[in-house]
């Protein structure tokens, strides 16, 4: 009986562990922030889109998002080169750059003009020991040079990014700094969003009219605010559940000591969520995209009603030279 209970207990633990593994890295990291996400969701549910300022004004907010795939991209690599002389350090860098240009020449959608940005070129100093009779002194002496440069490559097909990284690695260029996204004529996207928001407001006016509220007869005052969210700001860091083993990288018989725990943080593209927007254009995101946003605030002001039965009597006064105010009788 005890063995049976022990077996059931171990089975429950094993099934729980495997269930956690099947959930996946993304879900496990999201579960760690569950309480924060619930608090944010509750706060968003308490935000009202419409508000009544007084008995004559009503304000409506329309939030629009439009997801646009970039028309061009620029990837930046950082290159660090070390050599004994300033001439040698530049020659070694130029060899790596020439190799990269040669590797990328076969691709059509990559800009042939590769931009090189010089960051720094500084000497490297070391300490040289000099022994004396009763002491040892250390002197700083130059031992080489260190060169830092950035290489920027522009291209129009997002799928080429993987090929560029591969070709760069052939030239011993590994450190990818960032990828910038660009879109042509963003004003056209804002115009499209503006028209969509206007049509949405007209549908709201029609709905109110059908319900017996004639806000379509109100005076309107509108304000607009736009923005753009680029993919570089929407990457979220997470830690993997499993850690890679680096023992296979060591050759047989090597005595190199590897660290016991190797942190392997990673990142994933986390686009701006959709729940805060009334209208979403191009909602199907398959690649990191530029997310254009627009908020339109419309104020509906009820016109003042004039009662025709109320007659306004006009009176005219005159000030004499002595400063006396006299009422003037005017016959209509």
pLDDT at 160 over 70: yes
| Domain assignment of residue 324, yes or no | no
- Asked if 178 and 77 touch (Cβ cutoff 8 Å), the reply is no
- Please give the pLDDT value at position 282: 94
- Please give the pLDDT value at position 148: 93
Please tell me whether residues 220 and 268 are part of one structural domain. yes
Please tell me whether residues 202 and 229 are part of one structural domain. yes
| Domain assignment of residue 320, yes or no | no
Please tell me whether residues 77 and 212 are part of one structural domain. no
- Please give the pLDDT value at position 72: 95
Please tell me whether residues 107 and 61 are part of one structural domain. no
- Please give the pLDDT value at position 11: 45
Domain coverage including residue 95: 72-182
- Please give the pLDDT value at position 311: 65
- Please give the pLDDT value at position 316: 73
pLDDT at 2 over 90: no
Which of 142, 166, 182 is the endpoint of a domain? Answer: 182
Number of domains in the chain: 2
Please tell me whether residues 191 and 172 are part of one structural domain. no
Which of 139, 154, 182 is the endpoint of a domain? Answer: 182
- Please give the pLDDT value at position 17: 40
pLDDT at 103 over 90: yes
- Please give the pLDDT value at position 308: 62
CATH of the domain at 160: 3.30.70.2970
CA–CA gap between residue 290 and residue 228 (Å, rounded): 7
pLDDT in tens, 80-102: 999 989 999 999 999 999 999 99
Average pLDDT, the chain: 79
pLDDT at 108 over 60: yes
pLDDT in tens, 66-77: 999 999 999 999
- Please give the pLDDT value at position 286: 86
Please tell me whether residues 168 and 220 are part of one structural domain. no
- pTM for the full model? 0.70
CA–CA gap between residue 71 and residue 183 (Å, rounded): 5
Mean of pLDDT values over 8-35: 45
Q: Select from 106, 76, 79, 109 the least CA-distant residue to 171.
A: 79
pLDDT at 189 over 70: yes
- Please give the pLDDT value at position 135: 63
| Domain assignment of residue 24, yes or no | no
| Domain assignment of residue 40, yes or no | no
Please tell me whether residues 64 and 191 are part of one structural domain. yes
Mean of pLDDT values over 157-166: 94
pLDDT at 221 over 50: yes
| Domain assignment of residue 13, yes or no | no
| Domain assignment of residue 216, yes or no | yes
Please tell me whether residues 130 and 162 are part of one structural domain. yes
Please tell me whether residues 153 and 284 are part of one structural domain. no
| Domain assignment of residue 4, yes or no | no
Mean of pLDDT values over 250-275: 72
Please tell me whether residues 126 and 166 are part of one structural domain. yes
Confidence tier at 302 by pLDDT (50, 70, 90): confident
Q: Which long-range contacts (CB under 8 A, 24 or more apart) does 192-198 make?
A: 192/66, 192/281, 193/64, 193/66, 193/279, 193/281, 193/292, 193/294, 194/224, 194/294, 194/296, 196/64, 196/279, 196/281, 197/62, 197/64, 197/279, 197/294, 197/296
Looking at the chain, the number of H-run helices and the number of E-run strands are 6, 13
Please tell me whether residues 190 and 62 are part of one structural domain. yes
pLDDT at 309 over 80: no
- Name which residue leads in pLDDT, 246 or 302: 302
Please tell me whether residues 248 and 291 are part of one structural domain. yes
| Domain assignment of residue 233, yes or no | yes
């Amino acid at each position: 009986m005890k063995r049976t209970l022990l077996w059931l207990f171990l089975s429950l633990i094993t099934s729980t562990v495997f269930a956690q593994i099947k959930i996946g890295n993304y879900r496990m990291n999201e579960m760690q922030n569950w309480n924060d996400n619930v608090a944010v969701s509750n706060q968003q549910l308490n935000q009202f889109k419409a508000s009544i300022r007084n008995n004559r004004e009503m304000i409506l907010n329309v939030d629009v998002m439009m997801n646009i795939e970039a028309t061009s991209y620029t990837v930046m690599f950082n290159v660090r080169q070390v050599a004994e002389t300033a001439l040698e350090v530049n020659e070694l860098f130029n060899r790596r750059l020439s190799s990269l240009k040669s590797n990328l020449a076969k691709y059509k959608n990559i800009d042939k003009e590769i931009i090189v940005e010089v960051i720094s070129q500084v000497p490297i100093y070391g300490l040289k020991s000099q022994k004396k009779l009763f002491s040892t002194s250390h002197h700083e002496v130059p031992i080489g040079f260190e060169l830092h440069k950035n290489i920027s490559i522009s291209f129009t097909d997002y799928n080429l990014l993987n090929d560029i990284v591969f070709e760069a690695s052939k030239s011993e260029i590994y450190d990818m700094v960032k990828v910038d996204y660009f879109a042509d004529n963003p004003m056209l996207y804002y115009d499209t969003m503006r028209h969509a928001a206007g049509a949405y407001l007209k549908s709201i006016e029609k709905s109110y009219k059908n319900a017996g509220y004639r806000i379509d007869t109100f005076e309107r005052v509108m304000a607009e605010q736009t923005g753009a969210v680029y993919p570089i700001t929407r990457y979220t860091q997470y830690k993997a559940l499993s850690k890679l083993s680096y023992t296979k990288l060591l050759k047989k018989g090597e005595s190199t000591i590897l660290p016991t725990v190797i942190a392997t943080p990673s990142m994933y593209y986390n686009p701006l969520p959709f729940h805060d927007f009334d209208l979403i254009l191009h909602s199907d995101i398959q690649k990191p995209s530029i997310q254009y946003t627009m908020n339109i605030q419309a104020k509906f002001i009820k016109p003042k009603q004039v009662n025709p039965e109320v007659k306004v009597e006009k009176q005219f006064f005159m000030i004499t030279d002595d400063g006396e105010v006299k009422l003037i009788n005017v016959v209509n």
